[in-house]
């Protein structure tokens, strides 16, 4: 009887771990940048214990905030100018939107899910506008930072669309 119990518990744990991995795979596969999505979700220990899309969403929102703050650091290191000041303003707006997303994803109200989609989309547009501001003269380190942040914010939208 003990062996049977052990086998059942082991099987249940294997299946549970497999389901979580499938959730991460499903979300990342649907994103515009699966590589960034997988790298971020799999490197964060919280994703291993995330129980559902909302838990994963909170992780991605935190990482999106970090990514957008990284853009600000890069822009500030590049010096001043019209592109820089516009980019800083866009990133600050994106950070405000992402902070709003943190509260919205916790809600179980369908209206809040719609607002989450709109708010995450606004954050993505703000980061994209920063990216576009520099045009062809965008420094590689800024391009890398904006691509990472956009890839992460897109994952918020993927999750919001599945809630």
Reported as a pLDDT band with limits 50, 70 and 90, residue 22 is confident
Cα separation values, 132 from 46, 54, 142, Å? 33, 31, 11
Give residue limits of the domains in the chain.
2-162
- Indicate the average pLDDT of the chain: 88
Q: Where are the beta strands (DSSP E) in the chain?
A: none
d(CA 52, CA 60): 13
Q: In this structure, are residues 98 and 72 in contact, taking their beta carbons and an 8 Å threshold?
A: no
Confidence of residue 12 (pLDDT cuts 50, 70, 90): very low
Q: Which tokens in the block code for residue 62?
A: 């935190």
Buried b (16+ CB within 10 A) or exposed e, 83-101: bbebbbebbebbbebbebb
Fold of 2-162: Butyryl-CoA Dehydrogenase, subunit A; domain 3 (1.20.140)
The answer to whether residues 91 and 78 touch, using CB atoms and an 8 Å cutoff, is no
Cα 42 to chain centroid distance, Å, stands at 13
Q: 31-35, 79-83, 94-98, 148-152 — which is least confidently predicted?
A: 79-83
d(C-alpha 40, C-alpha 134), whole Å: 26
| Pairwise pLDDT comparison (136 vs 108), residue with the higher score | 136
Q: What is the pLDDT of residue 138?
A: 92
What confidence tier does 35 reach under pLDDT thresholds 50, 70, 90?
Answer: very high
Tell me the range of 9-23, 51-65, 104-118 where mean pLDDT is highest: 51-65
């Amino acid at each position: 009887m003990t062996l049977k119990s052990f086998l059942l518990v082991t099987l249940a744990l294997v299946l549970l771990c497999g389901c979580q991995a499938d959730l991460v795979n499903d979300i990342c596969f649907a994103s515009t940048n699966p590589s960034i999505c997988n790298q971020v979700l799999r490197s964060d220990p919280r994703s291993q214990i995330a129980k559902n899309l909302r838990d994963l969403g909170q992780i991605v929102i935190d990482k999106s905030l970090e990514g957008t703050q990284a853009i600000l650091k890069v822009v500030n290191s590049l010096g001043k100018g019209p592109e820089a000041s516009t980019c800083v303003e866009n990133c600050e707006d994106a950070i405000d939107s992402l902070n709003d997303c943190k509260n919205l994803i916790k809600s179980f109200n369908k209206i809040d899910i719609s607002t989450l989609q709109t708010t995450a989309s606004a954050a993505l547009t703000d980061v994209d506008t920063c990216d576009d501001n520099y045009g062809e003269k965008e420094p590689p380190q800024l391009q890398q930072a904006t691509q990472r942040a956009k890839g992460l914010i897109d994952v918020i939208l993927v999750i919001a669309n599945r809630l």
